[in-house]
Structures are given as C-alpha cells and as structure tokens.
C-alpha cells in the first residue's frame, strides 16, 4: 500500500473546495491540521505494514478542513475472511480512533486484553492522533457524538430515537465482535488441557477479573456472573435464608426495583423478618435518618438501590453502608440504575454486595455481582456439593456462565478505551474506566439539564423524584406524570412519532404505590445515555409540546 494511494484521496476530500493546499492557504491552523492528518496516515500505514493480519479493511480519515468526512478504502483487495485460528485467534479489529485523545500513561501492570486484540505489537504502536476538533465547541461536540454513535450500529439501523436505555442499552461493535469471535474460534468446553480449552477458560476467568476491576473490587472480593441481576439477587436471598438464624431482621428499601425486594420478602415470616425502609410521604424520597432508627433494633442485612430506576437519583450509599455496618448488618446494593452512567466503586462505598446488569452497561445480557471475600465466605452458593466453598464465584454460578457473554464483557474494555482516548492494547487500568465514565457524564449532563428544564417549565407535569439536573445528584433517567393524560397515552404517542420511551412501573411497583400512582400506568420514563444527542432530546420536547 503506497502512501500516495491514501494521500491522494485525502487531498481529494477537499477538492471541491479547491484542494487542501489551496483551501488552507493563509490559514495556518488548517495547514497544521492537514499535515497532522497526513502524519497520522503515514503512521497508520506503517503500522498496517507491521500488522498485516489486522482485519480492519477501512479506516476513516477526517478532512483536515473539518468540512467533510469520508471513509478512505484501505486494502480493498483484502476483504474480511474468517480464518481457522483456533489455536491463535486473529485480532478482532484495530482500535478505533478515539473521540478524545489522551496518550496512555503507565499504570498498574495487569494482563493485557490480548484475547480480545491479541496482536501484542499494538501495545507499542502510537495512538492515531485523533484530536477532538478544536474551535467551536458545539461543532466539536457534534463530531465527538457522531464518532461515538458510529460504535453502535443498531442506533443507525432504526429511525426511532432510542431513549429507553434504562431498560437495556445498545452494545458497541467491540462487544458484538468479541462475542462473534469467541463463538467462531474458541467455543469449546472449559477446563481441559487442550489449547483451545485453555483459551476459553481464560476468557471466562478474565471476564470475572475485568468486571471486578470495573467495580473496583480487586483485592477485596470476588465477582459472580449470572443470567441477570434478578437471578443473582434471588440466589443471594436464598443463600442468606439458609445461612442466617430464623427470624433475622432484613431491612428492605421500598423504593427499589423488585429484584432486591422480592428475594427478601419471600422469606418473610420464616427465615427473615422483613422491615420496610420507606420513602418520605411528603417528599417521596428516602431518608438516612429512618435507617438510623431501623437499625437500632438490629439488622442482619440492609437491601437498597444505588439509584432508583424511576427517580434517577444518586443515593448516598457510603453513608447508608456506614449506618448498616455500625449495626453489624451486611448491605446488598442494587446498582443497576447507576452503573450505565458512573464508574462503580465498591471499595469507596465499602459495600458487601453490589449487583448490576451488564446488558444495561453496553454489554451482553448478563448480571454481575460483587461480594466481599468475607461476605462470600459466610454463605454457601447453590452449586453442587463437591464444588469447594472457596471457589466463591463458581459456587454461585450454577451450571456455569455464558462463555460468549464473557467474551463480550471483555469487549467492553475497547469501548471504554475508545471513550477515554486510550489504547485498548494497553493493560487494564482503573483510571481508564473512570475516565470513560467521566466522558459519559459530560455528554449526558446537558441532555438531562435540557429535558428537566423543559419538564420543570410546565405546570401540568410532575417530575417524579428530584427535579435537580445536577449530575452530582442524579443520572439521566427522568420520569414524569401528567396532570390529566395517562402515561400510557403519552408514551404510546411518542413511540408512534419515533421516540423510543416507555411508561409503567418498571418493576418499582411498591414505589409507585407509595407515591400514590397506579402502577399499571405508572410514569413516563426517558432514559438517556452517552450515545444520545441533544437533537433527540429537542425532538422529544417538540413532541411533548404538541401532545401535552
Ligand atoms: C434498578 C434495577 N434493578 C434491577 C433490575 C433487574 O435487572 P435484570 O433485568 O438484570 O434482572 C432492573 C431492570 O430493569 C433495574 O432497573
């Protein structure tokens, strides 16, 4: 591949404006950008020469003038061909150009994600210089969000604006590719000594390791994976019912999703005595004071959510945990509504158990549960009697976990690196994860602010939960009810007009009842994540303006 073959079309990108050279004449910054793109192109070509196995057949070059963007074919003569790579799987795709440039900094050494992109030479290659465009910040944001949306093919294959992400997020290409690659190359039984089995076993083990890092639980606990958060919590409730003395007091938050209520309530009057931690009837919000009172009589477990899946509020988990621990209770936190928006930090929160759904965090349909070592040690998981108790995760994973799902979980690392502007071939780093979630928060903050501003401006609408748009207080899951119109009518009208939102109780049945709402009609919920756009929010507002 000759440099000219790439540079020529690159220059051609600006041909309609008289060519890059002439169009940037007299504009030194544009000239600098042009040379940067050419330098980057040269680097990419050199890298491609050294990495001929890389399957990526196209790469995108940004027009230096930022007026247009086109895909430049590279190695069009080499279409993607699945190879028989059972022993040594081929790399999936090259790391994509990150939307935010930031060079990797050395961090704690961990095993590289070599099974996802096992071309180890990539770790030494310089990142493509994909500086976020400078200048007009609205335009720069537009380009960034466009690059992010390109990672999620499903967003672009529907006319509907996907604003129901609290129900389940889209998966980026990196996750889908990882699942596909696993199934085509290393889909064998775990635990044997033959090479492919060794690889598969490592994939599953590494997925546990990765999720543990994602939750910041390294060194203090383990992660069990399962079909869903509901199934993991149900199992946990049953395990505690076996382990605790009959009649143990379990404090259960009324405002949570039923998945962290039902598993405790089903043993009420037998193994447990369930005590309700209710929301204030005046404000509709929970209070720490109430928990302080409840634990005075003693408690074995306190179960509550990190954020309500209706309110989108950020609850003070660390403070609640401190109160519960003061009374000698374990805490079981449902982090499902929190996890798509902020980096989970079980270490900082000091929680005993923390559960989230991986399919709402841009991954495959699974659930993940962190447990402190001592918490795992006090219960016996449901797996067979001969599985040692010390095999904490596996003791919980009756029949094992989805192997291809584990591969998909590992694929998420690539998307997080993409957001953080770091090289996915580098070692896993907690800082990268935190940075990626900070990027998500930056993108989501103005979207939630705009929607809340609009809803607050209407006197016929009631926002359910805090009306604050402050990202320190809430995530971008926003629910409301209308004075006269049923939630069903609003949501269904919106759906017909191409806005993918939902209505109902969202399994927070008891919260709806506590707020005096009919659970069947419940609330209208709009849940935004980092691939949503201001345009989608404005269009929804336009619809609400005409429909309400
Ligand atoms: C806050 C919350 N907790 C728990 C769950 C249950 O998760 P899963 O579907 O993984 O069982 C959900 C699902 O929507 C949820 O929103």
The predicted structure's pLDDT at residue 442: 97
pLDDT digits (tens, 9 = 90+) for 86-114: 333 333 333 344 455 443 333 333 333 22
DSSP per position, 260-284: GTHHHHTTBTTTEEEEEEPBPTTTS
pLDDT digits (tens, 9 = 90+) for 397-427: 999 999 999 999 999 999 999 999 999 999 9
Q: Which atom of ligand 1 is nearest to the CA of 334?
A: 3
CA of 336 relative to ligand 1 center, distance in Å: 6
- Which residues are CB-neighbours of 357 under 8 A, at least 6 positions away? 168, 228, 229, 336, 339, 366, 367, 368
CA of 161 relative to ligand 1 center, distance in Å: 22
Cα angle 111, 531, 55 (rounded to 5 degrees) comes to 50
CA of 460 relative to ligand 1 center, distance in Å: 30
How far apart are alpha carbons 370 and 413 in whole angstroms? 18
Q: Which atom of ligand 1 is nearest to the CA of 305?
A: 1
* Residue with CA at minimum distance from ligand 1 atom 15: 336
**Ligand 1 close to Cβ of residue 258 (< 6 A):** no
How far apart are alpha carbons 129 and 48 in whole angstroms? 15
**Ligand 1 close to Cβ of residue 337 (< 6 A):** yes
Residue 85 scores a pLDDT above 80:
no
Which one has a higher pLDDT value, 144 or 216? Answer: 216
The predicted structure's pLDDT at residue 41: 57
**Ligand 1 close to Cβ of residue 305 (< 6 A):** yes
Range name among 81-90, 294-303, 488-497 with the lowest pLDDT average = 81-90
Range name among 62-76, 126-140, 479-493, 501-515 with the lowest pLDDT average = 62-76
pLDDT digits (tens, 9 = 90+) for 15-73: 333 333 333 444 555 455 556 655 665 676 666 566 654 444 333 333 333 333 333 33
The predicted structure's pLDDT at residue 142: 79
CA of 15 relative to ligand 1 center, distance in Å: 52
Which one has a higher pLDDT value, 282 or 272? Answer: 272
CATH class of 182-409: alpha beta
| Ligand 1 mutation pick, 313, 507, 525, max ligand atoms within 8 A of CB | 507
CA of 112 relative to ligand 1 center, distance in Å: 31
CA of 318 relative to ligand 1 center, distance in Å: 21
Q: Where in the chain is the domain with CATH 3.40.640.10?
A: 182-409
Is 246:295 a contact under the CB 8 Å cutoff? no
Average pLDDT over residues 522-541: 98
The predicted structure's pLDDT at residue 3: 41
The predicted structure's pLDDT at residue 124: 30
Q: Where in the chain is the domain with CATH 3.90.1150.10?
A: 439-547
CA of 230 relative to ligand 1 center, distance in Å: 6
**Ligand 1 close to Cβ of residue 257 (< 6 A):** yes
**Ligand 1 close to Cβ of residue 259 (< 6 A):** yes
Give the dihedral sign, CA 418/420/426/430.
Answer: negative
Residue 262 scores a pLDDT above 50:
yes
**Ligand 1 close to Cβ of residue 363 (< 6 A):** no
* Residue with CA at minimum distance from ligand 1 atom 7: 229
**Ligand 1 close to Cβ of residue 358 (< 6 A):** no
CA of 76 relative to ligand 1 center, distance in Å: 44
Residue 268 scores a pLDDT above 90:
yes
Is 190:400 a contact under the CB 8 Å cutoff? yes
CA of 22 relative to ligand 1 center, distance in Å: 56
* Residue with CA at minimum distance from ligand 1 atom 14: 167
- On average, the pLDDT of the chain sits at 83
The predicted structure's pLDDT at residue 48: 58
Q: Which two tokens stand for residue 525?
A: 């919920």
Q: Which two tokens stand for residue 333?
A: 């936190």
The predicted structure's pLDDT at residue 26: 45
CA of 402 relative to ligand 1 center, distance in Å: 18
Q: Which atom of ligand 1 is nearest to the CA of 367?
A: 10
428 phi-psi bin (left φ>0, alpha ψ -120 to 50, beta other): beta
**Ligand 1 close to Cβ of residue 479 (< 6 A):** no
pLDDT digits (tens, 9 = 90+) for 199-232: 999 999 999 999 999 999 999 999 999 999 999 9
CA of 364 relative to ligand 1 center, distance in Å: 14
The predicted structure's pLDDT at residue 129: 29
The predicted structure's pLDDT at residue 282: 81
How far apart are alpha carbons 116 and 122 in whole angstroms? 12
CA of 356 relative to ligand 1 center, distance in Å: 8
**Ligand 1 close to Cβ of residue 336 (< 6 A):** yes
Average pLDDT over residues 284-297: 96
* Residue with CA at minimum distance from ligand 1 atom 9: 228
Q: Which atom of ligand 1 is nearest to the CA of 506?
A: 14
The predicted structure's pLDDT at residue 7: 42
| DSSP 8-state symbol, 463 | E
Among 3.30.720.210, 3.90.1150.10, 3.40.190.10, 3.30.360.10, name the CATH number for the domain at 439-547.
3.90.1150.10
Report the percent of the chain where pLDDT is more than 90.
Answer: 72
Give the number of other CB atoms < 10 A from CB of residue 168.
15
Q: Which atom of ligand 1 is nearest to the CA of 228?
A: 10
pLDDT band at 281 (very low <50, low <70, confident <90, very high): confident
């Amino acid at each position: 591949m000759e440099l000219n073959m790439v540079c020529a079309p690159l220059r051609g990108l600006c041909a309609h404006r008289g060519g890059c050279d002439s169009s940037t004449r007299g504009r030194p910054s544009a000239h600098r950008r042009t040379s940067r793109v050419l330098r980057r192109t040269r680097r990419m070509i050199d890298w491609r020469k050294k990495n001929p196995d890389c399957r990526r057949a196209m790469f995108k070059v940004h027009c230096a003038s930022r007026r247009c963007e086109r895909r430049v074919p590279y190695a069009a003569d080499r279409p993607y061909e699945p190879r028989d790579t059972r022993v040594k799987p081929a790399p999936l795709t090259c790391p994509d150009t990150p939307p935010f440039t930031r060079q990797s900094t050395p961090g704690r050494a961990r095993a590289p994600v070599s099974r996802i992109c096992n071309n180890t030479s990539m770790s030494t290659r310089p990142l493509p210089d994909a500086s976020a465009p400078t200048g007009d910040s609205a335009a720069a944001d537009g380009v960034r969000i466009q690059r992010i949306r390109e990672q999620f093919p499903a967003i672009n294959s529907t006319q509907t604006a996907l604003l129901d992400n609290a129900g389940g997020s889209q998966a980026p290409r990196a996750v889908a590719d990882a699942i596909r690659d696993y199934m085509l190359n290393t889909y064998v039984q775990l635990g044997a000594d033959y090479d492919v089995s060794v690889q598969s076993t490592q994939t599953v083990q590494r997925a546990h390791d990765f999720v543990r890092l994602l939750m910041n639980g390294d060194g203090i606990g383990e992660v069990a994976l399962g079909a869903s958060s509901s199934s993991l919590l149900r199992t946990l409730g049953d395990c505690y019912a076996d382990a605790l003395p009959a009649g143990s007091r379990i404090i259960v938050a009324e405002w949570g999703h039923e998945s962290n209520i039902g598993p405790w309530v089903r043993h009420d009057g037998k193994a447990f005595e369930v005590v309700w931690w209710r929301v204030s009837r005046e404000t509709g919000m929970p209070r720490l004071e109430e928990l302080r009172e409840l634990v005075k009589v003693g408690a074995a477990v306190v179960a509550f959510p990190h954020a309500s899946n209706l309110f989108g509020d950020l609850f003070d988990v660390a403070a609640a945990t401190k109160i519960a621990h003061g009374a000698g209770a374990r805490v079981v936190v449902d982090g499902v509504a929190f996890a798509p928006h902020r980096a989970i930090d079980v270490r900082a929160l000091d929680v005993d158990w923390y559960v989230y759904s991986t399919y709402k965090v841009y991954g495959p349909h699974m659930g993940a549960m962190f447990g402190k070592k001592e918490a795992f040690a006090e219960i016996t998981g449901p797996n067979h009697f001969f599985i040692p108790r010390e095999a904490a995760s596996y003791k919980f994973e009756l029949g094992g976990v989805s192997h291809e799902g584990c591969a998909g979980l590992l694929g998420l690392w690539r998307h997080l690196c993409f957001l953080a502007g770091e090289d996915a071939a580098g070692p896993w780093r907690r800082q990268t994860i935190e940075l990626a979630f900070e990027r998500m928060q930056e993108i989501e903050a103005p979207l939630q602010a705009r929607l809340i501003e609009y809803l607050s401006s209407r006197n016929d609408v009631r926002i359910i939960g805090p009306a604050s748009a402050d990202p320190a207080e809430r995530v971008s899951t926003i629910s409301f009810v209308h004075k006269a119109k049923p939630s069903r009518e609003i949501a269904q009208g919106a759906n017909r007009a191409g806005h993918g939102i939902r209505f109902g109780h969202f399994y927070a049945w008891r919260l709806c009842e506590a707020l005096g709402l009919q659970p069947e009609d419940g609330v209208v919920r709009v849940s935004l994540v980092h691939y949503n756009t201001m345009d989608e929010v404005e269009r929804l507002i336009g619809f609400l303006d005409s429909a309400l």
